[in-house]
Structure 1
Amino acid sequence: MYDLIIKNAKLIDETCVDIAIEQGQIAEIANSILARSKRVLDLRNKHYISAGWIDSHTHCFAHSPIYYDEPDVIGIKAGVTSVIDAGSVGALDVAEFYQLARQAHTHVYSFLNISKIGLITQSELANMDNIDALLFEQALIKYPDFVVGIKVRMSRSVVGENGVEPLIKAKKIQKKCGLPLMIHIGNNPPDLDEIADLLTEGDIITHCFNGKPNQILDKNNNLRDSMKSAIKRGVILDIGHGGESFSFAVAERAKSLGIYPNTISSDIYAKNRLHGPVLSLANIMTKFIALNYSKKRIIDSVTVNPAQILHLKNKGLIAVGYDADLTIFDIKQQPTSLSDAHGEVRQSQEQFVPLASIVADVAKDDIHIQITQEGSKNELRISS
């Protein structure tokens, strides 16, 4: 007997399947599953299902003095099954964050800030003494399943007079541990060309479509040569929308040049969730409908792509043996206005609307099911 069978679930390619879950993992996928189950959720060939959405750039350390939120608020209650905090904490606070994260139903991971103090100040890398390689490496050893990457913020307000030196130190640490490195780009100095030239395969540039002077496009509105080379080397592009770091104009020009992000992420925290322009990962995904991205590309950018880039084992796909992390959603036919970080507005005739999250608890051989407010309106019901 299965723990849960989801019947008549619509995939993003419009095909419909039944999905059986047992002991926190996907046990069977078929056109029709007739086996008995403790619980059944019938989506009536009406609602979509995908692997659980992964927001690969958030700020969800609730005790942070600057950028904070609750993992389950931006996670399971919003259709997101995994959230990755992007540098809110460094080695000094990772233990506290780990304990808080274990209390959430949402899967929580961390890009550990290369600065040991994390984001308790906006200028965490202006003092090079804040980079303590030994302390950092000890944190990686202690929390190997929690820390999935390294975060370094490379903008003028953060590094002060230190230029790219923090990035050079981060690359040295990365060489030892092999974890993905996420680089925040903002106002210069340091210049993006100098940053890009230091990056190697698998490094992640976040805020990749920001509209600041230090952006991926040159003065002629073409892709910088340094970025062409970086992308060719395998450098990853991440959206990291945030309150100040996404431009429709840059995204549109990049698309016309054949440049797409590998991952779509929100850079969400309480302020930009409550007051915009972020609101939710679903809202950011809807902006890419407005940019005429295919639905499959958008879904891949919040499921299989981040799972593979961040080496999240057994996540990102609907496949037998994978964790039962799933997002149930609608693509609602309703006009909406969408704003970027500069107040520019685009229109979309459709919206991503999360209805429910299913999160695997493999350690307990169980799952947690969270039906959203919109899901309740759609009368999603689990029968026993």
Structure 2
Amino acid sequence: MMTTLYDVIIKQAKRVDNTLIDIAIQNGRIAAIGAISAPARHEINLGGRCYVSAGWIDSHVHCYPASPIYHDEPDRVGVAGGVTSVVDAGSTGADHIDDFYRLTRVAKTRVFALLNIARTGIVTQDELADMSRIDMALAGEAIARHPDFIIGLKARISSSVVGANGVKPLVRAKMIQRANGDLPLMVHIGNNPPDLGTIAELLTEGDIITHCYNGKPNRILTAAGELRASVRRALKRGVHLDVGHGTASFSFEVARLAIAQGVYPNTISSDIYCRNRIDGPVHSLAAVMSKFLTLGMTSRQVIDCVTLHAATALRLTHKGRLEPGHDADLTLFDFSTEPCVFTDAEGVSVGGQRRFVPLAAVVGGECLLTDEGKLSHVFNL
């Protein structure tokens, strides 16, 4: 009997439950998991010294380098931080999506896009104040050109974006959604008008509310700190909550009060771009994930939010699971137990005792070390 020669075998990696596994990779996919004794062209023996999960997915970033407002390089917000897939949340609309697609083809990180319903994308802060920028035909044509790249839609429904249009852009977004296979729709919430209650009532199963723990008056909690009834109804309909931390959209207090009521995020994302990556308060997806450890979520819960839940919500059917047949996208990481301080978008700081330390992103079987991974004793590369 001929023995299978795998492309890569990762030996003795730890799951978060501390069990050890080997992972065999063939042709960019996970071929086998367990105790594997077969030969491989390349072997990475971790010796139980670090953890492995399915590749981290950041479901809300801004990484179109040509954007005049929110921009970054895909690999800076991706593999450099142990993130194997990023989803740009509306930086580009139909006018610039072809250029964005072209630029991302050279990235090591797997890049996907939520198409801004405004054809211009975010070239100004008020892209939905002019309803003529929402062109259903152009949006449909863009989606048809890039069906494996455009995986959903993005609508920013807050006062500075929509101007006097209220929820009219959201109504149009739902029309575009229905005309294009009911793609996932991510809706940015912020300052009112329009009121979050009106927004929430328009959302249906599979839609995503991002910036879910923002501290603005138009937030998911009432002034008394209870979940709004409209949001509760939306969650019962299957609407998802996404963190989308960003520069101004995450409050420790709102998150703490919501989680205490059992209102957990479905997905944890960063809303990262160059400025809040360098100057904070975001810094990285790992830093945002670590804030939720401080809020009492388990490491398993947090990892599910950036793997299984993100892949399911965005219909990335071959990602998010450590299972044979899925893409060989993995994140290798460790935990630091040195005291640390985290700051939210309100300027409030909270002390923590544990944080995620990404060491490498494995994309299609290729191991790409982070800066911390290059300094780690784990790898002898």
Q: Post-superposition shift, 1:380? A: 3.7
Alignment partner of 1:300 is 2:289: no
Q: Post-superposition shift, 1:306? A: 0.6
The SS at the match of 2:338 is strand
The answer for the alignment partner of 1:11 in structure 2 is: 15
Alignment partner of 1:46 is 2:44: no
Asked if structure 2 preserves the Cα contact closer than 8 Å seen for 1:39 and 1:382, the reply is no
2:147 & 2:321 partners in 1: Cα distance?
22
| 1:156-235 to 2 correspondences below 5 Å | 156-177=159-180, 178-235=182-239
The SS at the match of 1:148 is strand
Asked if structure 2 preserves the Cα contact closer than 8 Å seen for 1:113 and 1:152, the reply is yes
Deviations 1:338-367 (A, max 9, x none): 00000111111111000011101xxxxxx3
The SS at the match of 2:300 is helix
| Selected match of 1:135 from 134, 138, 155 | 138
Asked if structure 1 preserves the Cα contact closer than 8 Å seen for 2:246 and 2:276, the reply is yes
TM-score, structure 1 as length reference:
0.97
Asked if structure 2 preserves the Cα contact closer than 8 Å seen for 1:199 and 1:235, the reply is yes
Q: Post-superposition shift, 1:317? A: 0.4
Deviations 1:306-353 (A, max 9, x none): 101111121000001111000000011111000000011111111100
1:44 & 1:242 partners in 2: Cα distance?
37
AA aligned to 1:213 is P
Alignment partner of 1:337 is 2:369: no
The SS at the match of 1:300 is helix
Asked if structure 2 preserves the Cα contact closer than 8 Å seen for 1:105 and 1:368, the reply is no
The answer for the alignment partner of 2:122 in structure 1 is: 119
Q: Post-superposition shift, 1:42? A: 1.2
The SS at the match of 1:179 is coil
Q: Post-superposition shift, 1:33? A: 1.2
Q: Which runs of 5+ in 2 are unaligned?
A: none
Q: Post-superposition shift, 1:382? A: 6.0
Q: Post-superposition shift, 1:34? A: 1.1
The SS at the match of 1:227 is helix
The answer for the alignment partner of 2:100 in structure 1 is: 97
The answer for the alignment partner of 1:325 in structure 2 is: 329
The answer for the alignment partner of 2:268 in structure 1 is: 264
Deviations 1:167-189 (A, max 9, x none): 00000111111100000000000
The answer for the alignment partner of 2:376 in structure 1 is: 378
Q: Which runs of 5+ in 1 are unaligned?
A: 361-366
Q: How many residues align?
A: 376
TM-score, structure 2 as length reference:
0.98
AA aligned to 1:91 is A
2:42 & 2:94 partners in 1: Cα distance?
42
